[in-house]
Each structure stands twice: as structure tokens, then as C-alpha cells.
Amino acid sequence: AQSVTQLDSQVPVFEEAPVELRCNYSSSVSVYLFWYVQYPNQGLQLLLKYLSGSTLVKGINGFEAEFNKSQTSFHLRKPSVHISDTAEYFCAVSEPGGSYIPTFGRGTSLIVHP
Amino acid sequence: KAGVTQTPRYLIKTRGQQVTLSCSPISGHRSVSWYQQTPGQGLQFLFEYFSETQRNKGNFPGRFSGRQFSNSRSEMNVSTLELGDSALYLCASSPGTGTFTGELFFGEGSRLTVL
């Protein structure tokens, strides 16, 4: 069975600083990987996804993530954050050929301080 | 293209009551999934419906049920509400077939408070 671990429940940073949100997954087969963002009182919105090909994936709002198969990781990065990036971020994994139902991590709260 | 619509957005119930939540998926999407989101447990998968049939089910008690109609709209019902059912209930739609990857399109959720 697949599982996702988001190592940090909360990440505080100052505006314009770089940030990395960590995600590790556990799966015995190939995977699809996703990062979603949730702003207060809203649903989840897809930031980016890895399906195959290049291990560096670029998403919306200047975010990118790198798939590392050997370390089973899919860390999310942004070189310079804004106040508006304050939100909850969820990593998710699904297994092609299976049910495709994604498993979500518990989320990382990114708090950007001025 | 309209997004996923959930109603109601907010509701308050008392213990022992039941509640029905509604979800209209993106046009053309045949799969609807439901998730429960709480601060302590994160996002927990409830069930998924595809073409009016429950295709996948999470680990929730039988008090939680759902259905899907021929137009792909879905409802979920929680009977005999408990305080622990207070949560944000998220609906997500997807094509459910073809090049489906597991990517989900979420609604804004229905926030249920049980008193």
C-alpha cells in the first residue's frame, strides 16, 4: 500500500526567502506524484504533477518539484516566496494500473512573514 | 468551464441528526470522490463513485454513505451524527477513465459542525 509523509507540519519563512517543503512516499510500484495547495476556506488546487519524463517539474505560481526515485522523494521548492503563498500544501501519490485513488500526506502549513 | 460545486458550504447539526451534502462535478467528469478533512487526521478518503456505482471505499463506518445520479452529481449522507464528524467534507471530480492519472479537481467543501 502507498503512503505519503510530509516531514514538516509547519514551515515559517520570511518574504522573498527560498523555501522547500519535503515529501517522501512509500510504494512498491511506479507512481504519479502531485502537490496541491489549499488557501483558507477553500478546496485544494493542483500546483504541479509528475507523471513521467523529466524529474524536474514546474508548476503554477513559480513552484517546482523534483522527483527522486532512489530517495522516494518529491520535494516542493520556490526560490522566493510571497505573503500570498501562505497556505496549506499537500503532497499526494497515486499508482498507475491500480485504483488511481490518491493518498494524501497530512499537509505542511507554509507561513510567510513580512 | 464551471468547477466542482458543493452545497451547502456551511451547516450546523446536533448529535444524532443526519446530514446530506451535495456535489456537482465538472461537466464530462464521471468520477466523484469524497474526502473528510480534519486538523488531526488530514485528508481521509471516504469513497469514490463512477457511473452511479461505488468503485472504491475508504475505512469509514456504515453511517457514511453516498450515491451518484445519472448526471454524475453525487450526494453523501452521514447518519446519527457524532461530535467527531465535525470536519470539512471535500468533493473532487475527475474523468475517471481514459488517461486518468489520479489528478483530482476539488470543490470548496462543506464545513459541518456537530454540536
- Cβ–Cβ gap B100/A100 under 8 Å: yes
Residues of chain A found within 8 Å of residue B4, distances taken between Cβ atoms: 43
Size of interface A-B (CB pairs under 8 A): 58
Contacts of B110 (CB under 8 A, 6+ apart): B6, B7, B8, B9, B10, B11, B21, B88, B89
- Contact with chain B for residue A104, Cβ under 8 A: yes
- Cβ–Cβ gap B48/A32 under 8 Å: no
- Contact with chain A for residue B100, Cβ under 8 A: yes
User: Tell me: the pLDDT tens digits for B10-64?
Assistant: 999 999 999 999 999 999 999 999 999 998 788 999 999 999 999 999 999 999 9
- What is the average pLDDT value for chain A, to the nearest integer? 93
Largest CA distance in chain B: 43
Dihedral of alpha carbons B91, A22, A10, A57, sign: negative
Highest mean pLDDT (candidates A39-53, B32-46, B70-84): B70-84
Contacts of B5 (CB under 8 A, 6+ apart): B23, B24, B107
